[in-house]
Structures are given as C-alpha cells and as structure tokens.
Amino acid sequence: MIGQALEAEVIVERLGLSRTSAEILAAYVELIEELGTDDVSLKLIARRAGVGERTIFRHYGTRSELLLGAVTWADQAVFVRPSYDSIFDLPLALRQTMSAYSQRPELAFLVAETMMRGPDGADPVPSRAHLEQLLAAEIPDMGARERQQTLAALCHLDSAGAWAALQREFGMSPADIADAAAWAAEAVLNPLRSRAANG
C-alpha cells in the first residue's frame, strides 16, 4: 500500500486539479458528511479550505459544478480503489471498494445519485478507461458488441450505484454487499477465463 499522501497526489494529477481546487473539494466533501447535506454555505467551505469565497467562485462557477467536482473527488479520493493489473482481479478489488462505500454510506449515496443525473451528472462510468484497456490487452479477440456489453456490466457493478441498490433493495449487510458485487463480477468474467491471452 502506498502512502495516503502520495495517493492524493496521484488522484489530483489524474483529475487534473490544482492544489487549491483539491483543497476546496476536500473541504466541501468533509462538510457534506458532517452536516448530512450537500447544501453547505460557501462561507463554511471557504473557511474550512482556508481560502476566500471569491477563490471558490474562480475555481467553480456554479453550485452544480462544485457538487460535480466534489462527487468525482469523493469517488476517486475518498473511496480509494485498489490498483489491479488484470481484469480478473476486479472482483477482489470490488470487495474493497464496496467496503469503502459501506464505511461512509451518506457520501456513497450522494455519489450514486449524482452519477444518475444524466448529462448534468458526474461520469457514470469512472472506471471505464481502465477496464477497457485491460479487456483489450487480455482478451484481444473480443467483438465490439460483446466488449460493450461486458464493459457496461462491469462498470455498472464497479459503482456507488451498485452499493446503493444492494443496500436499499435487499437490505444487505456490508459483508454481503461486498460478496454479492464480487460474485456478480465473477459471473460476468467466467466465460472469458478460457479466452484470456495469457491464460
């Protein structure tokens, strides 16, 4: 496990954020959790981040831009996904991701809901690029339609929405949620095992 500080640096770089932007988002996410709502005053965010209110406006023109930034930040930086180099390691990684969501449920619900807002929402498939790359490398002979269906299913499982649905619809415990998500990902990957290039 690499250090938490380094992880944060990597995420800031991946999201293309300035240090100030990252501090604003981190402060906002903290306050959302403490107050139990995303309706947090700019004054409070500014004070927590140690910047002026005008600085927040310069970085995030509107309230919804700020929320989207915070949700993306939460999904990448708060709910840290373990790194993995094979598509077949996704189920194991999913166990950890789901446990992370269970530890901060209100934030996980906020991420899940914001990803469902359509064109105005956060990226509904944040892990797509990584999964696509692994699929192309490990199962190069996959047709376009099959690739798309597989990606859609795996991206759908690797989301706060999966956690929210399993929690709400089935009232599962954190251990059962992690287990159910990993099991479903195994089911999607099972038919591919014998076709893996290195397998």
Partner 1 sequence: MSDAADTASAIVAAAAAQLGRIGFDEITYKDLGSAVGVSERTVYRHFPTRAHLLVRVALDLESRLFAPAAFTSWEGLYDAVAARFAAFAQHPAEAVILARSASLSPVGAESPAGGAGSFFSAAVGALLEESAPGLNGRDRRRTASALCYFASAQFWARCRAAFGMSAEDAAASFRTAAGQVLAAAPEGTWPQQALAGAGQ
Give residues in contact with partner 1 (CB under 8 A).
Answer: 37, 64, 105-106, 109-110, 112-113, 115-121, 123-125, 128, 148-149, 151-153, 155-157, 159-162, 164-166, 168-170, 172, 176, 179-180, 183-184, 186-188, 190-191
For residue 36, the minimal CB distance to partner 1 (Å) is: 9
Complete DSSP assignment for the chain: ---HHHHHHHHHHHTT--HHHHHHHHHHHHHHHHHTSS---HHHHHHHHTS-HHHHHHH-SSHHHHHHHHHHHIIIIISPPPP-SSGGGHHHHHHHHHHHHHHSHHHHHHHHHHTTSGGGS--S-TTHHHHHHHHHHH-TT--HHHHHHHHHHHHHHSSHHHHHHHHHHH---HHHHHHHHHHHHHHHHGGGGGG-TT-
For residue 159, the minimal CB distance to partner 1 (Å) is: 8
For residue 47, the minimal CB distance to partner 1 (Å) is: 24
Is the CB of 27 or the CB of 185 nearer to partner 1?
A: 185
For residue 7, the minimal CB distance to partner 1 (Å) is: 26
Is the CB of 7 or the CB of 186 nearer to partner 1?
A: 186
Is the CB of 34 or the CB of 106 nearer to partner 1?
A: 106
Is the CB of 49 or the CB of 78 nearer to partner 1?
A: 78
Is the CB of 21 or the CB of 150 nearer to partner 1?
A: 150
